[in-house]
Structures are given as C-alpha cells and as structure tokens.
Structure 1
C-alpha cells in the first residue's frame, strides 16, 4: 500500500521472489520421479492456476491503494470468517466452546477497533480518509 509501485509490478516482483522456491520444489519432485505432465485435467488446472491466482492479487493490490489501511485490515478478516462459517454450517466441522470463545474475542476486538476508528473520523474536522 505504501510503496509507490503499481499493482502489476508489485505482483511481478512478488512472483520473482517466490519463484525459486517453486522451482526447487519442481526439481525435487522431478528427481523423485513423481512428476507427470500431459493432456489431462490436472495439467490444465496447473497451466491456468497462475492466471487464476494473479488476477485477484492484482485487483486486490490495486484496490488496497485506494482505501484506508484500517479498512484493508478489516477486509482481511472477512474471508477467513466466511470459511469458518461454511466449515461449521455447511461442512459440519467439529466446533467446541473454546473455538467459539476465540472467535467471539477476535470479532469483539475488531468491533472495538472499528468503533474507535469511526469515532476518530467523526471527531475530525476533515472526515474524508485518504
């Protein structure tokens, strides 16, 4: 968010930095003779996985520069919370009281922080956040 670089360039740099780990893994799998590539659905998914991953990352990176950092942090909790709710109600994952207490405390913290940010903006003479 704070680095003056566009979304595509930042994702490109991120890919360049992480690519060596991927190549090392591919070399290891190839050495173990467990690598196969051909005309099948797995290979098709592998070919398009880069674009399927890169497009949302580029869009998020471009969007994150346009909203406040506090809102970006809040949004980061939405995805895991949706997965958590799906796991419990759709996939019937086990869920005990300890997990419920943890979940409630996390969201209480988020709510307290959000309220404090709201009050801070409301008290400020310039309510527009850059």
Structure 2
C-alpha cells in the first residue's frame, strides 16, 4: 500500500498543472497539422515513450496483476477514450482560437470534481463548498444567457477530464503502468487511422524529414510526464484538493490567449470567469478554515 505523502502530492500536482498550462505554446507550433492527426501521433509517440519508461523504471508484477484482473483493462480502456477525447477537444480549441473557452473549462473542472465526489464517491459538502459550486453554475448559466448557447468546449473539457481523474483514482493500477497501458490500448486505433488516411500530412514521405515530425515525437514525453505526475499526485491528495490546484493551468492558458495570441475577453465571458473565480476563492477559503480547525484540535 502506498504511504500518503501530502507534500509529495502537492509537488507532483504543481508540476503537472504548470506543464499543462504551457501546452498552448506547443500546440500552436503544430497549428499546420489537423487536430485529429495530432492526437493520432500523440497516442503513437506516447505509447512508444511509455514502453521506454517501463523498460527503465521497473514496476514488478504490474502485468501479472492485469492478467489476473482483466476487468482492469476495461477500466483503462475507458480512461484511454476519455483522455483521448479530452486531448482532441483541447487541441482543436487551441488551434481554432478558442483558448479562452478551454481555459474556462479547466476552471470549471475542479468544481466538476467536487460534484463527482458528492454524487459518486459519497463525499459530503459543507456550506461554503455548496456556495462555490453554486457560483460556478451561475457562471455557466450567465454565459448561456448572454451568448445564447452552452459553452460546449468548456463543459466537454471539464467533464472528460473530471471522469478520467475519478476513474483513475479508483482503478487499483500503479500510475505509470496504468497510463502506459491506456496509450497502448489507443495504439491500434491510431495505426488504423494512419492506414486509412494515406493523404494525411504524416502519410507523405517528405513529412518524415520535416520539423513537424520532431515536434510530434515530443508529444510522447510532453504528454506522459504531466499525466504520470497527476496520477501519482492523486494517490497522495484528496480528489477535491487535487482539483483545486488546477487553477494554475487555466490561468496560464488565459494569460497566453489574451497577451500572446490576441483573443478578446469580452464582458459576457469575463462575467462567467468572475463567477468561477469567486467559486474558487470560496472553496479555497473553506479548505483553509477547516485545515485551521484540524490544527487547533
């Protein structure tokens, strides 16, 4: 059984979220490649890099455990589909100038984690936590009222990653082997896609001697390193606490969207952000108050 180490959990969580927050810089460099093709290569190179990691970083007995408990493979397959869907939506948003919507989605995600903890894990919410969730819901409803449609990019990102984290937290598989198996299960899909799309950019001979292929190969370590950190952090921190570290990533994404890539933070979207930020402040206050009470006791 893994010994819980909150300090290690915070360090791993911070590392994951800072790397994720800088992802737009990487995907903007690949803007000429279609989003779906980027995800195909992301799965391919992640599977190869993951195999290398497992060869170097030994995890005795992980394959035997999966063979003895084949249902865990189904769980990991579900995780793979969720994280691949999250990847696709995020890359599409970044490369179609929807980074602010992506940022809003990852601000909503911690509050989705709270709701999943309540509805599925049976966790109980305190009054301030209910207020935080209510403020987040108000932000989503405000955008629906102002814009006239659901912020589907934001909600899809929040829900896919929320359910991914929830399932991985419950799956009794070590962080690295579980993550590598997820990518291996996506590998056949990636190879079939490449075989069925010979006209794709990566189907051309010249592509494999271009700079894009080197950038795509980096998708392996860039993808796996923060996910390994996240999955390991989930074993040392409460799920709701881990979720609230995530404000780092969307803040970095939002700053890049406005300051580097010229996206406009209009009043309607700013109001939605304000409601989410207020929810984060209230929830953080609740965590601080209860941590102080535990110290006193």
Unaligned 5+ segments in structure 2 are: 1-168
Mean alpha-carbon deviation: is it higher for 93-102 or for 72-81?
Answer: 72-81
Match of 2:218, SS?
Answer: helix
The answer on whether the counterparts of 2:233 and 2:242 sit within 8 Å (CA) in structure 1 is no
Unaligned 5+ segments in structure 1 are: none
Match of 1:124, SS?
Answer: helix
Distance in 2 (alpha carbons) for counterparts of 1:22 and 1:81: 32
Label 1:81 to 1:65 Cα distance change in 2 as closer, same or farther (>3 A).
same
Aligned to 2:183: 15
**Among residues 243, 249, 255, which one is paired with 1:79 in the alignment?**
249
Of the two, which has the highest radius of gyration?
1
- How far off is 1:33 after superposition? 6.2
**Among residues 90, 99, 106, which one is paired with 2:276 in the alignment?**
106
Match of 2:270, SS?
Answer: helix
- How far off is 1:102 after superposition? 0.5
User: Quick one: higher RCO (CA 8 Å, sep 6+), 1 or 2?
Assistant: 2
Aligned to 1:28: 196
- How far off is 1:114 after superposition? 1.5
| Cα deviation code 1:59-100 (max 9, x no counterpart) | 222223222322211122321221112211333311210011
Distance in 2 (alpha carbons) for counterparts of 1:42 and 1:33: 13
- List 4+ stretches of structure 1 deviating above 3 A: 124-127
Distance in 2 (alpha carbons) for counterparts of 1:33 and 1:103: 38
Query: Is 1:62 paired with 2:258?
Result: no
TM-score (norm. length: structure 1): 0.78
TM-score (norm. length: structure 2): 0.38
Aligned to 1:48: 218
Aligned to 1:115: 285
Q: 1 or 2, which has the higher helix percentage?
A: 2
- How far off is 1:126 after superposition? 8.3
Distance in 2 (alpha carbons) for counterparts of 1:89 and 1:43: 28
